[in-house]
Structures are given as structure tokens and as C-alpha cells.
Structure 1
Amino acid sequence: MKLADLTTHLNNLLQVSTVPDYPPALNGLQLQNTRGEITKIAAAVDAHLPVVKAAIARGCDLLLVHHGLFWSGLQPITGAMFEKIKLATENNLAIYSAHLPLDGHLDLGNSILLGRAIEPDAAWEPFFPYKGFNIGVRATVEIPRIELVQRFEQAIEGKSHICAAGPDIVRNIGIVTGGAGSEVAAMKALGIDTFLTGEGPHWSYTLAEELGVNLLYGGHYATETFGVVALAEHLNNTFGLPWEFIDHPTGM
């Protein structure tokens, strides 16, 4: 498939031209490839050097990521940055990144997919806008907290860190994946009794205790694998492009 056509499809699907984001996200095609065609996709959370090497080793010509090349901000193209761009260019690897457009997407987004993995029968609704675009989901449920923790850990395939300061029976869940732990006070104000996210600052735990909110941290990486996998599956179903997931967890 032509890279230009695939890029247009992704841009339209994810509305990258209209969804607001942090400047380093630079959503969309970040690096074109030399042949202008795509035959195999690698999906990953981060576009860093080990992942670029793995994508090349697996014969991929598109790396689809959540955190792109410029996530650390403006920097010289030297060292690891130079090496991964050089390797990608020499090995015909294009790189496409989608951050908040993928977090908040209501079919393929990290938040909605995590929610459905935990409680598929809940009526998940978009909420928690960033500059007008909802990046999270919420639902009204009735689940014992101990069971919710088990479902959460099954969904992320790992252990969570829990501040069990809210009710034993969870009724109002809010999910914002990634590094949204600092928003615990906003969750309380929105009527959320149990907040699921990836990570947060140290004080987010103590604030959750003071506010009486259950706060479950699943890890930034672990809560943001859902979107890139779903997006790669979508491209496979739509265009027949084979794909692989490159799992390179940070433990954070």
C-alpha cells in the first residue's frame, strides 16, 4: 500500500489535524520511508532506538507508535536520535505517531479499550477534556473494589499500585491512561470515586487518601499498549497489512 494513502487514512481516522496535543507529540507521519510503500507494520508504545532496531529486524516498513520521535522535546540530531533516524532511513522504515488522538478515540483509544477490558457491559462515556477533546472515559457500575483491582490487573497483564481510600463498592469509574495521576482532585470534583490511570506524582497518592478516592496506577506503558495494537489490527482488517506488536515495557 502507498504510504501517502495510508497516512491520509490514519489522519482522517484519528482527526490529527483537529485534536489538540502537546507540541512534542507532533502527531502524524514523522518520518517517511524511501520507497513510499508499506508492506508490514510494527506497533509499539515508544519510538526509541531498541524499538526501531526491532522493527527493522522483523522486516517492517512502518512503525506505528503512541510516543513519537520527539517526545523528549526539541533536541539535536546526534547520538541515539541520529542513529535511529539513520537506521530507519537506511532500512526503509517510516514512523507514524498518534498520542492524544489515540488516547481519546472512542473505538481504538487507550481509555475506552481499557474500560471495555475491565467491564465490557458498562456504558462508557467520553469525559475529561484537554482543550475541548475528551481523553478519558467514565462509567457507572457496581463492582467490589477488590474485584475491580483483579480485572484491572488482568487487563494490563501485571500488578497495579493501589490507594484504597475510596468506597469498597465502586460506582463511578474514571479512566485516563498514561501519566494522569495528578488529576485526582479533578476526578473527585467530577464525582469519580475510583480513578484508573498509568502513573502520577508522589503527592497524588496522598491527595487521593485525603479526598477519599480509590486511585489505581497500572503503569504508564501498560495502560497505553491498547491503542497501537487496536490501530494495527484495524489496518490489517481494512487493508490486509500484516503486523507485529513490539513489546518493550519500561516498567513505569
Structure 2
Amino acid sequence: MTLPDPTNTASTPTRPPAPEISRDALVSWLGEYLQIDAFKDPSLNGLQIEGADTVRRIAASVDTSARSLQDAADSGADLLLVHHGLFWGEPLAVTGPHARRLQIALSANLNLYAAHIPLDAHPDIGNNAMIASALSLQNLEPFGAWAGGKIGLAGELPFVQTLQDFADRVQKLTGEICLVHGGGSPQVQRVGVLSGSGASTIPEAAAMGLDTVLTGEPEHKHFHDGFEYGVNVIYAGHYETEVFGVRALAARIEDEFGIPWQFLNLPTGL
């Protein structure tokens, strides 16, 4: 038997190099794509923790926690992309859980990138744009006042639905049971969408002639607003209404640069 010559590599197939991008190039692209500096935001948007110089794999998560950071590190990700980061305008002592989170990221050489309001408001891959598209809303217009601008969307369903049927559609979209406050018409067609915490938009919805607001979490101080302004409110979960943006953004990065990604689903029930 003749053994193959180990020095002869002519017939050995070669694999193309795995896609990669420098961290700084990706951060620059994200800043421009998301218009990261265009929004007044309590979140420190952008690169919050500096890790590996090169990004070959991305993990995406709604929230930053010890669990999401560790899962990202265990997955082999070089960058964790989140909606809710670690820094919200107040200095934090590097003690307790905050220190633990930083230790996990630094030990794994893991980059952390956060996009809060810019990811809610983005016209293509933002939370509200993705929800509006999934629900087939038409004739979209800005909705959801925030710091002098609007970060949500309002639109019309292609046909009138009962409030129960519409709530069922939302529940299928998010996979979670919705809380429905039927303060308005039992027929739904004009809907305002603001992911996360948007109960404060009920008066705005009434002024725009919307019959229904779809948002994430209820706030006690706004409980009576829907009933007194005559607007239905569907609370679909803060977490569940904000999974869309980070997933869509990670997929957009893959389309642009070929970088693989995975979503870390860590629901809060809120």
C-alpha cells in the first residue's frame, strides 16, 4: 500500500476563511446605521465594554445580565448585542452584581454593544417597525412621543378585526398571553405601536383617532387612561415586544458582513 505524500497538498480542498470584521469597523457601521447619536436617551448607547479586536460571531439578547453575558461567552461570541445595556446615565460602583457582570465580559474578552431608543425607532429593523410589519399595518405614521420626537408607529389594519381577534394575533406573534384593557371600540383598525413601556401614549392615541395601543408593560398610574380616553390597550410584555429589534439587527449584520449570530432567549415574564 502506498501512503499519500503529506507534502503534496494539490488535491486537498481548502476552506474559505470564516467571515470576520474588526470590532472598530463594526462599531462604526452600527453607529451610522442606527444613527446612535440622534436620540436623547438615558442609555449609554454604543460600545459599552471593549473586548476582542476581531468579531467572528455575535450573540444577541434583549437584556444584559450575568446569564446573558456568560451564555454569550460560552457560545463563542466575540460581541453581545443588546437592547438594554449596563449603563443608564448614573455612575455605578464596581461591586456586587455589577462587578460580576463586568468580570464575565472582561474574562471572556467579550464586547458589549447596546442600542436602546435607536433600536426602538429604527425604520427598518426597529422593534416597532418589525411589529407593525408582522401585523400588516398600512399607511404608517409616527407615533409615541419621546424627547421631542416620535419613536413608535401608528397604522391601519387591512381589515377591521374584533379586539379579541387582534389580541389573539398579537399573542401568536409574541408567544405570550396578553393583558387586554378594552377601553374603546370592540372593533379594531387604527393601531399605535410602542414597544416596551408605552402606556403614557394613550392620550396621544386618542388625539390621533386610534382605537387601540399595543405596548409592552402596564403602569399603574396609566390604568384608568385607556378607559377614560376610550382607547383599547394591549399589553404584550416589555420583553416580548423588544425581542424583534436585536434579532433583526443581528440578521442585518449577517447579511452585510456574513457574521453568524444566535439569539439568547432569556424571557423575564414582564
Give me the TM-score of the superposition, normalised by structure 2: 0.88
Q: Return the index of the structure with the highest Cα Rg.
A: 2
**Shift of residue 73 of structure 1?**
4.0
Whether 2:238 is the aligned partner of 1:220: answer yes
Residue type matched to 2:56 in 1?
A: T
**Shift of residue 80 of structure 1?**
1.2
Q: For 1:146 and 1:200, how far apart are their aligned partners in 2?
A: 18
Q: Are the aligned partners of 1:20 and 1:133 in contact in 2 as well (CA < 8 Å)? A: no
Q: Which residue number in structure 2 is paired with residue 20 of structure 1?
A: 40
Call closer, same or farther: CA 1:217–1:137 in 2, change over 3 Å.
Answer: same
Q: Which residue number in structure 1 is paired with residue 100 of structure 2?
A: 83
Among 125, 132, 143, the residue aligned to 1:127: 143
- More helix as a share of residues: 1
Among 164, 167, 172, the residue aligned to 2:185: 167
Call closer, same or farther: CA 1:184–1:145 in 2, change over 3 Å.
Answer: same
Q: Are the aligned partners of 2:44 and 2:89 in contact in 1 as well (CA < 8 Å)? A: no
Instruction: Structure 1 unaligned segments of length 5 or more: list them.
Output: none
Whether 2:229 is the aligned partner of 1:208: answer no
Q: How many residues align?
A: 248
Q: For 2:29 and 2:148, how far apart are their aligned partners in 1?
A: 23
**Shift of residue 112 of structure 1?**
1.1
| 3-state SS of paired residue (1:140) | strand
Residue type matched to 2:190 in 1?
A: N
Instruction: Structure 2 unaligned segments of length 5 or more: list them.
Output: 1-20
Residue type matched to 1:144 in 2?
A: T
**Shift of residue 71 of structure 1?**
4.1
**What is the aligned-residue RMSD (CA, Å)?**
1.4
Give me the TM-score of the superposition, normalised by structure 1: 0.94
Q: Are the aligned partners of 1:106 and 1:126 in contact in 2 as well (CA < 8 Å)? A: no
Among 71, 94, 109, the residue aligned to 2:126: 109
Q: For 2:211 and 2:32, how far apart are their aligned partners in 1?
A: 35
| Within-5 A mapping of 1:1-252 | 1-22=21-42, 25-33=43-51, 35-71=52-88, 73-119=90-136, 122-141=138-157, 142-252=160-270
Residue type matched to 1:139 in 2?
A: G
Call closer, same or farther: CA 1:97–1:138 in 2, change over 3 Å.
Answer: same
